[in-house]
Amino acid sequence: MNIQPPYTRDMPPSSQDYGTTQAGRERSTSAIVSDLWSHTELLVHQELDLVRADLDVKVTHIKKDLAAASLSAAVMYAGVLTLLAGVVALLSRWIEVWLSAMAVGAVVLIVGFIVNRKSTKDLQNVDVVPRESGRSLQRTAQTIKEAVHD
């Protein structure tokens, strides 16, 4: 996967611009704070873009898995219907056709209920929280707090 830089705003002034101006004069505190704010804003935007990209990757993966599962389920459904028709026809040799159809239908419903409960539980356990991005945001926040307090 080719990942482009997530944030395209112009970069704030480089770190070599801090301290003095081109004329060699000391920069004002307000200019330094302004630059710090610009850098912080850019960093926060980039961190949020990272979170979005992280979520996009997870959502894309889940979509692809759900599409494959849906397609395979449709194919299996056709096969199961054919097999069930055969079981009903076989049982109709010994019992009434309507009774064999009811018995096969009841068994299929019970099996379907069990499978549905398991798959629903598995789907609820999917972790979609962008943990790496969250940790990165926490580190950034901690770094900013430390820089402000120093």
> Is 15 part of any domain?
no
For 118-128, write each residue's pLDDT tens digit: 888 877 777 77
In a domain, 92, yes or no: yes
- Asked whether residue 45 is domain-assigned, the answer is yes
Residue 30 lies in a domain: yes
pLDDT-derived band at 98 (thresholds 50, 70, 90) equals very high
Question: What is the tens place of the pLDDT at every residue in 51-75?
Answer: 888 888 888 989 999 999 999 999 9
Q: How many domains does the chain have?
A: 1
Please give the residue range of the domain that contains residue 34. 26-149
**Single-letter code of the amino acid located at 36:** L
| 85 within domain boundaries | yes
Q: For residue 144, is it within any domain?
A: yes
Across the chain, mean pLDDT equals 81
Kindly tell me if the per-residue pLDDT of 142 is higher than 90. no
- Does 86 fall in a domain? yes
